[in-house]
A and B are shown apart, each in its own frame.
Chain A
Amino acid sequence: MKKGWISYPYILWMIIFTIVPLLLVMYYGFTKTENGTTVLTPDNFIRVMEPTYLKVLWRSVLLALVSTVVCFIIGYPVAMILAGRDISRKSTLVLLFVIPMWMNFLLRTYAWMTLLDRKGLINTLLGALGLPQLNLLYTDFAVILGMVYNFLPFMVLPIYSVLRKIDRSLIEAAEDLGSDTVTVFRKVIFPLSLPGVVSGITMVFMPAVTTFIISKLLGGSQYMLIGNLIEDQFMRVYDWNFGSAVSIIMMLLILLSMGVMARYDKEGTGGGLF
């Protein structure tokens, strides 16, 4: 089986379909075509720095951060309960938790449209109770809700799998050395679960910061996140140069956040955080 060559077609394929396209994005990002001539220019990136677009960037990062934090706060206890000893039929519960994820992403988001709509179920129920109706759809709240709903499992599952793997004897050792339940959590369980937390945060933040569907369906057609900005440039405005520049910025943002998380991961396992 010394045949490295049988993967060469694959390498060629990946170069054509991932490297070349990315190079093309770079090419478009750094050029501009005026009057039929293409010139190298940083203009596209300078344009991203305009306040309108900076605001879009800022809002994308902020909403993604808020959703990540909410996912963490809601999700950690879920992971703990699922990984806990006093839960029977554990695998069934985990399966139940995963099943909604198998529904198409668009449909899950669409489901919230029907719930949050001005004439949707929530408002109908509120009306029946004699309470004032709420403007839920097409708000920041709706977008964050959509993100949390769609990405919560990405937070819970990695934490759950790390928690489940923690050696019982470590917890017993901590108890043996005098820790009560709270101390065991603070000094042993939580620090040991950090790798799961880190990958959970990464797995929620990434799709949240790049989404354009949730913002479009739950935020309304005027709602702008980076994803929407890119989509607009390619599908409506047809300014591929600017769209490519924004895409490059998005990639950088992703790489940056991955770098940050990787660093925290190292510190976390080294015990430097607590």
Chain B
Amino acid sequence: MKKAFGRFYLVLIFAFLYAPVLTLIVFSFNDSRSRGNWGGFTLKWYSALFRDRHVLSSLYYTLTIALLSALIATVAGTAAAIGIHNMKKILKSFVMNLTYLPVISPDIVTGISLMILFVFVRLNLGFTTLLLAHITFNIPYVILSVLPKLKQLNKHMYEAALDLGAKPLYAFFRVILPEIMPGVVTGFLLAFTLSLDDFIISFFTTGSGVSTLSITIYSMARLGINPKINALSTLMFIVVLALLLIVNKRSSANSKNGTAVMNI
């Protein structure tokens, strides 16, 4: 009885969660412009999407910004994490507060404050400012993914490497980095996704001519309903699902390897 009720409740919740998404997808194939009636199957919204230069340029900017900002944030964040890990307590807590600040402060405040800064130093709002903003909100997430791995690290491993004659840089790349790599990769993926997904901060820190997909969607949605958005959502959803499945497979394969190694 209890079990059946639980199942029923879950089904309801999943219906609530998926209904809007599925409707969106179904109506992206709808020949009629209406949101309520089915006018037959079509791919015309997709072809319209691929002919829309505005959408294509925002796709380009979205991917470029996401990739660049995630890469830079990963390198900078990993270095920062190692530094923070070795800091004295007082300085460490200051830096950690600094790191948490953008994580907890509302995106809209981060957005407008960065916008004020850029305007204040007379930086033209556009690609550069967008990239700077994305790097800024990405670094903390990389640090927060790498730090736990550093904490798990055996303190003496680095010393052991030095003891065996490794130069510090060599020791870092051959001993430390492989150990914290899972955290670094997680940090990169997290930064990449957050950057792809961001709307609010981008909205305030970009200028005319440079638009990300989120911003394009927002300006389209504000004008009302547009089947092209449905087509775009469908594509984005499928890409994200594929990414998710790949990441999942990767991590489960990793954990299998892990146990295999441990069994030896």
Q: Do A and B bind each other?
A: yes
Tell me, yes or no, whether B204 is within 8 Å of chain A by CB. Answer: yes
Name which residue of chain B comes closest to A111, CB basis: B20
Residues A110-144 near B (CB distance < 8 A): 110-115, 117, 119-121, 123-125, 127
Q: How far is the CA of A132 from the CA of B117 in the complex (A)?
A: 52
Asked if B36 contacts A120 (CB within 8 A), the reply is yes
Q: Mark A5-28, 1 if CB is under 8 A from B, else 0.
A: 111111101111111111011001
Name which residue of chain A comes closest to B88, CB basis: A4
Which of these, A20, A97, A212, contacts B108 with CB under 8 Å? A212
Q: How far is the CB of A48 from chain B (nearest CB, A)?
A: 15
Given A11-B98, A127-B36, A251-B106, 13 more pairs with CB closer than 8 A: A17-B117, A19-B98, A104-B214, A104-B233, A107-B232, A110-B233, A113-B225, A120-B35, A121-B35, A125-B36, A152-B17, A210-B108, A244-B112
- Evaluate whether A74 and B13 lie within 8 angstroms (CB atoms) in the complex, with A8-B83, A213-B199, A243-B112 already known: yes
Name which residue of chain A comes closest to B115, CB basis: A234
Q: How far is the CA of A212 from the CA of B218 in the complex (A)?
A: 12
Measured between beta carbons, the chain B residues less than 8 angstroms from A119 are: 34-36
Tell me, yes or no, whether A151 is within 8 Å of chain B by CB. Answer: no
- Evaluate whether A103 and B236 lie within 8 angstroms (CB atoms) in the complex, with A4-B87, A97-B17, A258-B104 already known: yes
The DSSP consensus for interface residues of chain A is: helix
Tell me, yes or no, whether A96 is within 8 Å of chain B by CB. Answer: yes
Asked if A17 contacts B199 (CB within 8 A), the reply is no
Q: How far is the CB of A27 from chain B (nearest CB, A)?
A: 9
Q: How far is the CA of A114 from the CA of B28 in the complex (A)?
A: 11
Name which residue of chain A comes closest to B243, CB basis: A102
Asked if B10 contacts A28 (CB within 8 A), the reply is no
Q: Mark A65-92, 1 if CB is under 8 A from B, else 0.
A: 0000000001001100110101100000
Tell me, yes or no, whether B95 is within 8 Å of chain A by CB. Answer: yes
Q: How far is the CA of A102 from the CA of B3 in the complex (A)?
A: 29
Tell me, yes or no, whether B14 is within 8 Å of chain A by CB. Answer: yes
Which of these, B18, B109, B176, contacts A250 with CB under 8 Å? B109
Asked if B3 contacts A24 (CB within 8 A), the reply is no
Measured between beta carbons, the chain B residues less than 8 angstroms from A1 are: 82, 85-86, 158, 176
* Most chain A beta-carbon neighbours within 10 Å: one of B117, B222, B229: B117
Name which residue of chain B comes closest to A101, CB basis: B17
Name the interface size band of chain A.
35 or more
Q: How far is the CB of A145 from chain B (nearest CB, A)?
A: 10
Q: How far is the CA of A109 from the CA of B255 in the complex (A)?
A: 36
Which of these, B13, B83, B101, B236, contacts A7 with CB under 8 Å? B83
Name which residue of chain B comes closest to A120, CB basis: B35
Residues A204-241 near B (CB distance < 8 A): 206-207, 210, 212-213, 216-217, 221, 227, 230-231, 234-235, 240
Name the interface size band of chain B.
35 or more
Tell me, yes or no, whether A106 is within 8 Å of chain B by CB. Answer: yes
Measured between beta carbons, the chain A residues less than 8 angstroms from B106 are: 206-207, 210, 250-251, 254
Which of these, A74, A99, A107, A120, contacts B241 with CB under 8 Å? A99
Tell me, yes or no, whether B197 is within 8 Å of chain A by CB. Answer: yes
Measured between beta carbons, the chain A residues less than 8 angstroms from B6 are: 81, 84, 86-87
Tell me, yes or no, whether B16 is within 8 Å of chain A by CB. Answer: yes
* Between-chain CB contacts (< 8 Å), 27 pairs: A3-B82, A7-B82, A10-B80, A10-B139, A10-B143, A14-B101, A14-B139, A21-B117, A24-B117, A78-B10, A81-B9, A95-B248, A100-B21, A102-B244, A104-B214, A107-B24, A107-B233, A108-B20, A109-B221, A114-B24, A117-B225, A124-B36, A149-B16, A149-B20, A210-B109, A250-B106, A251-B106
- Evaluate whether A110 and B82 lie within 8 angstroms (CB atoms) in the complex, with A10-B76, A206-B106, A234-B115 already known: no
Tell me, yes or no, whether B114 is within 8 Å of chain A by CB. Answer: yes
Measured between beta carbons, the chain B residues less than 8 angstroms from A207 are: 106
Q: How far is the CA of A21 from the CA of B105 in the complex (A)?
A: 12
Tell me, yes or no, whether B200 is within 8 Å of chain A by CB. Answer: yes
